[in-house]
């Protein structure tokens, strides 16, 4: 006897539960291992170039490349660290960056000059802009900040040079350090691996190359960066008076440990009263008490409909009292983004990660106008309107089609409301019931 082509009762529910489990498992893997389907090749690459050997010392150039399309490194910036293999390895001098601590250099007390750093695990930080000219290096002095490749391709690289003494051995392979870290939550670095030597041409005619070049690849994971999301999305439309708020407890719940907020009507703290972190550390968010407790809220409003176009208003609100978001970015996934006609007040760039599929775009502020999202207050928001063409055959106001499928802020995915709560057309409920009754009568007539 042939098995029925469909499942009944418990079998169907078990199948649904299994599918949900597999989907959540795949999602958790993608978050924890740093894969982002909107930027599948995103990573930060550390290049370690052995440039020159003089006796028992090497000149080493270290370059940090941000190969991420829409995720940048904000303040306090990178803090590069590694572990030397030999206890006698020291940094004699540096240009373009500095070690946070010198360490114990007592064994070199007889030397005419003490090393710059004698720690087995040094922590290197970038110079701030305006560093002494004789200590600068090409592509240095950005305070550890790196732009994304799309926002500013001239500022996605940071570099410094150091003179390192290798003690007992001169073998490069034996002295290459291990355990690289960027010092930024969410980033995990792999092992160093040997690549082709870096080549350069100072005059455009003669090419020179390094003695050896090693690469280290670092990946970002939102799950490792923070146990809870950092932003949420609210929705509204001109054809429905309902405003769908951010889901409850999107980024935290009031009353839970670590959830700090200011209650409604409570006076906002003075600048000097705000919590401060130590140097090169990020301050924990302090937000207005709300049902979602998110420091960033993105609102998508379907504003108007024309004969061949429709208009959307996007508002980004900073609810964090202790942080200004500089060089912010917003990534939106929607099938009609392939037909963006006009944009006001924001920059825009399509993200075509999969060839002809043009359903994702990146928004960011205009320099010196709204590229800085100020802390919570009257100026703590940025907004823009977008005009899109109604693509024939796919455009509709039904079933929440005009709302985004996915939104992320600064590379971190925001919590979306469930689809069954999206604003609906006023007649959607009444038009669906007669069709259901009609099909029910058809089924009954067929059976009898």
30-61 pLDDT per residue, tens: 334 567 888 999 999 999 999 988 888 899 99
Between 143-152, 190-199, 281-290, 334-343, the lowest mean confidence (pLDDT) is in 281-290
Residue 171 has pLDDT above 90, yes or no: no
Q: Would you say 50 and 212 are in contact if contact means Cβ atoms under 8 Å apart?
A: yes
- pLDDT-derived band at 24 (thresholds 50, 70, 90) equals very low
How far from the centroid of its chain's Cα atoms is residue 139's Cα?
22
Q: Going by C-beta distance under 8 Å and a sequence separation of 6 or more, which residues neighbour residue 311?
A: 302, 303, 304, 305, 385, 386, 387, 388
Residue 25 has pLDDT above 50, yes or no: no
Between 104-113, 231-240, 253-262, 346-355, the lowest mean confidence (pLDDT) is in 253-262
Separation between Cα atoms, residue 52 and residue 197, nearest integer Å: 13
Residue 15 has pLDDT above 60, yes or no: no
Q: Which of 10-14, 43-47, 109-113, 380-384 has the highest mean pLDDT?
A: 43-47
For residue 188, report the phi and psi dihedrals to the nearest 5 degrees.
Answer: -125, 130
- pLDDT-derived band at 390 (thresholds 50, 70, 90) equals very high
- pLDDT-derived band at 271 (thresholds 50, 70, 90) equals low
Percent of the chain with pLDDT over 70: 81
Residue 279 has a pLDDT of 52
Residue 268, number of CB atoms within 10 A of its CB: 14
pTM, two decimal places: 0.83
For the residues 242-252, what does the mean pLDDT come to? 94
Percent of the chain with pLDDT over 90: 60
Residue 302 has pLDDT above 60, yes or no: yes
For the residues 396-401, what does the mean pLDDT come to? 92
Per-position b or e across 21-31, b if 16+ CB within 10 A of its CB: eeeeeeeeeeb
Residue 86 has pLDDT above 90, yes or no: no
Give the domain 44-223 fold. Answer: Immunoglobulin-like (2.60.40)
Q: Span 228-265+284-421: which CATH code?
A: 2.60.40.290
For the residues 275-303, what does the mean pLDDT come to? 81
Residue 2 has pLDDT above 50, yes or no: no
Separation between Cα atoms, residue 154 and residue 177, nearest integer Å: 29
Residue 28 has a pLDDT of 37
Listed in order, strand segments (DSSP E) in 154-278 are 157-165, 178-181, 187-189, 193-195, 199-200, 208-209, 212-220, 231-237, 240-244, 261-262
Residue 10 has pLDDT above 50, yes or no: no
> Residue 120's closest CA among 64, 81, 152, 70?
81
Q: Would you say 164 and 118 are in contact if contact means Cβ atoms under 8 Å apart?
A: no
Please tell me which residue, 394 or 161, carries the higher pLDDT value: 161
Residue 282 has pLDDT above 80, yes or no: no
Domain ranges of the chain: 44-223, 228-265+284-421
């Amino acid at each position: 006897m042939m098995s029925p082509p469909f499942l009944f009762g418990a079998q169907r529910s078990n199948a649904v539960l299994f599918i949900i489990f597999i989907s959540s498992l795949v999602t958790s893997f993608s978050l924890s291992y740093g894969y982002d389907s909107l930027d599948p090749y995103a990573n930060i690459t550390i290049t370690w170039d052995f440039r020159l050997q003089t006796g028992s010392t090497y000149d080493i150039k270290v370059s940090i490349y941000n190969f991420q399309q829409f995720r940048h490194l904000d303040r306090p910036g990178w803090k590069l660290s590694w572990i030397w293999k030999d206890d006698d390895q020291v940094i004699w001098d540096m240009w373009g960056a500095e070690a946070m601590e010198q360490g114990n250099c007592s064994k070199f007390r007889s030397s005419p000059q003490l090393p710059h750093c004698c720690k087995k695990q040094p922590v290197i930080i970038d110079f701030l802009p305006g560093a002494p000219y004789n200590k600068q290096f090409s592509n240095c002095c950005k305070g550890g900040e790196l732009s994304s490749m799309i926002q500013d391709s001239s500022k996605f690289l940071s570099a410094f040079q150091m003179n390192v003494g290798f003690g007992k051995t001169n073998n490069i392979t034996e002295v290459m350090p291990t355990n690289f870290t960027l010092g930024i939550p969410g980033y995990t670095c792999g092992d160093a691996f040997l690549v082709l030597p870096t080549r350069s041409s100072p005059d455009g005619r003669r090419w020179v190359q390094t003695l050896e070049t090693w690469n280290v690849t670092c990946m970002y994971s939102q799950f490792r960066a923070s146990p809870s999301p950092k932003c949420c999305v609210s929705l509204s439309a001109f054809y429905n008076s309902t405003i769908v708020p951010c889901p409850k407890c999107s980024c935290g719940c009031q009353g839970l440990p670590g959830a700090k907020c200011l209650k409604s009507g409570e006076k906002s703290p003075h600048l000097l009263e705000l919590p401060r972190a130590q140097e090169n550390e990020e301050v924990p968010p302090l937000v207005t008490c709300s049902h979602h407790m998110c420091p960033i809220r993105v609102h998508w409003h379907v504003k108007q409909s024309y004969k061949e176009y429709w208009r959307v208003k996007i508002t980004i609100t900073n609810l964090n009292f202790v942080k200004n978001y500089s060089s912010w970015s917003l990534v939106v996934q929607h099938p009609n983004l392939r037909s963006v006609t006009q944009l006001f007040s924001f920059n825009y760039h399509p993200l075509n990660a999969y060839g002809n599929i043009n359903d994702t775009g990146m928004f960011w502020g205009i320099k010196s106008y709204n590229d800085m999202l100020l802390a919570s207050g009257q100026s703590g928001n940025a907004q823009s309107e977008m005009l899109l063409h109604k693509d024939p055959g796919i455009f509709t106001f039904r079933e929440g089609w005009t709302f985004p499928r996915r939104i992320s802020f600064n590379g971190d995915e925001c919590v979306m409301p469930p689809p069954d709560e999206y604003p609906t057309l006023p007649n959607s409920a009444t038009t669906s019931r007669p069709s259901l009754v009609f099909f029910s009568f058809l089924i009954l007539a067929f059976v009898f």
